A and B are shown apart, each in its own frame.
Chain A
């Protein structure tokens, strides 16, 4: 008879419900379903081997995301697709909103964009921005939790999130114009 390790049932009860979240983060980091599956499996096995170090009552999601990200950095990271070139320092705040505020102030055009296009646009964000966006806007972690997972200050989380959203909105706006979902707003004449 196989002896059950202490806490094995607790491990499965805590970790198995997080597999969807782990898989989504792995997909966005690796941008490859097969590698994402391997990354999730490696993450869960590493977590299992370290289970005695997990402090009950602390955030299981942050703990698992941290293991997944470290595993990705150490074993899975490879040259990604070229990120979309953009001068992030001078990116205009709220530019995409200003571009549509006459025609579609609610931003309903976003809903017409197919899922695959949105995911592709996320995958082309620079990795630093992509991971913050996924943890915040898809997995709903707080600023403090994201800072903990990534080992960066909360202020950096906020600024990366701001820029990630702006960049994604710009790309999706351009796509919506291209597809004819919205009309491009005439550009203001250049200042003399």
Chain B
């Protein structure tokens, strides 16, 4: 994209840009476009807020303590079984 991306090109690369799975050169071009283009800036912010929300709400769930304890117990039982055989 000589001369930098247009809006359509920038939006098509937004997913890779947010995933940071893009060459530094292309990322710099997208950053440059977004800084100059309000609609694309808003779009990026919308996607970023969506992803932050998703991570925050879904990562709150943790392995229950009783499961953790059960797994450690099973691992030790497995070791004892293998030592006996």
Whether, in the assembled complex, A169 has its beta carbon less than 8 Å from a beta carbon of chain B, the answer is yes
| A3 pairs with B58, CB closer than 8 A | no
Cα separation A28 to B54 with both chains bound (whole Å): 13
Task: Check A41 for interface membership: any CB of B closer than 8 A.
Answer: yes
Indicate whether A111 reaches chain B with its CB closer than 8 angstroms.
Answer: yes
For the complex, is A12 an interface residue (Cβ under 8 Å from B)? yes
Contact A106 B55 (CB under 8 A): no
- Assuming the contacts A48-B75, A106-B46, asked whether A3 and B62 have C-beta atoms less than 8 A apart, the reply is no
Nearest A residue to B19, CB-CB: A143
Contacting residues of chain B (30-79) with chain A, CB-CB under 8 angstroms: 39, 42-43, 45-47, 49-51, 53-55, 57-64, 67-68, 70-72, 74-76, 78-79
A118 on interface, CB distance cutoff 8 Å:
yes
Interface size on A, residues (CB 8 A): 52
Say whether chain A's binding surface is mostly helix, strand, loop, or mixed.
helix
| Residues of A close to B47: CB separation below 8 A | 97, 107, 165
Residue A29 CB within 8 A of the other chain: no
Determine if B6 is an interface residue (Cβ-Cβ < 8 Å): no
A162 at the interface (CB under 8 A from B): yes
Given contacts A19-B63, A97-B43, contact A110 B74 (CB under 8 A): no
List residues of chain B with CB within 8 A of the CB of A122. 58
Indicate whether A44 sits within 8 Å of B71 (C-beta atoms), given known contacts A4-B79, A105-B46, A138-B55.
Answer: yes
Instruction: Encode contact with A along B5-18: 1 for CB under 8 Å, 0 otherwise.
Output: 00000010001100
> Which A residues, 161 to 175, have Cβ-Cβ distances below 8 Å to chain B?
161-162, 165, 168-169
Closest 6 CB pairs of A and B: A19-B63, A23-B63, A107-B46, A105-B42, A110-B53, A107-B49
Q: List 25 A-B contacts (CB under 8 A).
A: A12-B72, A12-B75, A16-B71, A20-B63, A22-B63, A24-B58, A37-B64, A44-B75, A45-B74, A45-B78, A49-B78, A93-B11, A101-B39, A101-B42, A105-B46, A106-B45, A108-B49, A118-B53, A118-B54, A119-B61, A137-B51, A137-B58, A138-B55, A138-B59, A165-B47
